Chain A
């Protein structure tokens, strides 16, 4: 009899993660124009899909996402199906989060996608660990949220306010036509806030890679290269059997 890797919690993999990521995907495209012309649901543009792939590559590199834990030869067909559903939902959710935080048009739209590409690429090159990547994503998405839903929303708020006065003073001489922005009703900002929050929480729930779980059992100072991890894993399996 061989002991099989227990795998991630079945409920979390079958219900929690796909439903959270799908909720993010659904709400990420929600917009309510300030004119009150009704709800809009925007699908992700191609660029957001490309960045979602890049983001998932960064997650794999950092150990935040372990595709082999979700889909693999050692899992049954149903387990692989639920794992694939998690990956698909994560992909669509990531694309929608990226799109949700993007200014809708103009120079800022272009700058957003340019800087997002550079940031993710840089993160990929830096190869951070799981926690550092989560911190990094918190900062990236948090900054983008503040830029779009606090700074830009204040700038184009018809009723004005302190924030608008500060920003117009700082941006004196800049033609606002360059900073094209479609104002939305406040509910859009609230929805976007929860989209980002739920997305980040769901990322922390992603199942860890096997090596990450085995690492604490290893002797301090033991180098965790792939071969050694494989040996430890084999030894453990033998012990269980």
Chain B
């Protein structure tokens, strides 16, 4: 009985450690949130999420990320992470040139959002945004970070932010 219980506890503890090393949480919030998400018990703070989306629509991107960060401290909600990535895109987009640092953060975030989304598919049916899937956003951010001859195309000045 004692040995069986000990073996079970050891196996659970070893599984937890393996999970930690596989997921590499950066903060305690990510650690606890990730554990909760793995058993389906993680929920975002809905009020902070709504506030973040409102800031996002008002073009207040710093404020939007702060609110979305409060809503999803463990970075386990794919939709919230999608909005965070989108905020980096909109803030970093420029008619003459893009802010590479913001685009890089956006790309990292949208890749994370895709990784945690069920089936690695993420559709956000928000009429206020033009790119409604994480794949489109990722492609747009990747294109923005690519340096090639098309950067010199004068037609670029006519491009519009999505």
Contacts and interface: CB of A to CB of B under 8 A. Distances in A.
Nearest to A37: B26
Nearest to B28: A39
B10 interface: yes
Contact of A10 (B2, B14, B24, B31): B2
Given A19-B13, A22-B13, A41 B21 contact: yes
Contact of B7 (A22, A29, A41, A78): A78
Contacts of A41: 20-21, 24
Nearest to B6: A14
* Chain A interface extent, by class: 20 to 34
Interface of A, helix, strand, loop or mixed by DSSP: helix
Contacts of A38: 26-27
Given A18-B6, A78-B3, A81-B7, A39 B13 contact: no
Contacts of A14: 2-3, 5-7, 10
Interface string A1-32: 00000000011011100110010011001000
Contacts of A85: 6-7, 10-11
Contacts of B6: 10-11, 13-15, 18, 82, 85
B4 interface: yes
Nearest to A16: B6
B24 A40 contact: yes
B40 to A, nearest CB: 24
B27 A82 contact: no
B5 A39 contact: no
* Chain B interface extent, by class: 10 to 19
B131 to A, nearest CB: 29
B66 interface: no
B26 A82 contact: no
A79 B3 contact: yes
A43 interface: yes
Interface in A41-92: 41, 43, 78-79, 81-82, 85, 89
Nearest to B25: A39
B21 A43 contact: yes
A37 B25 CA distance: 11
A19 B9 contact: yes
Contacts of A25: 17
A89 B13 CA distance: 11
Contacts of A79: 3
A89 B10 contact: yes
Interface of B: 2-7, 9-11, 13-14, 17, 20-21, 24-27, 31
Interface of A: 10-11, 13-15, 18-19, 22, 25-26, 29, 37-41, 43, 78-79, 81-82, 85, 89
Give me the 9 closest cross-chain CB pairs, A-B, nearest first.
A14-B6, A38-B26, A18-B10, A26-B17, A15-B6, A78-B3, A14-B3, A82-B3, A41-B21
15 contacts: A18-B10, A19-B10, A22-B10, A25-B17, A26-B17, A29-B21, A39-B25, A41-B24, A79-B3, A81-B7, A82-B7, A85-B7, A85-B10, A89-B10, A89-B14
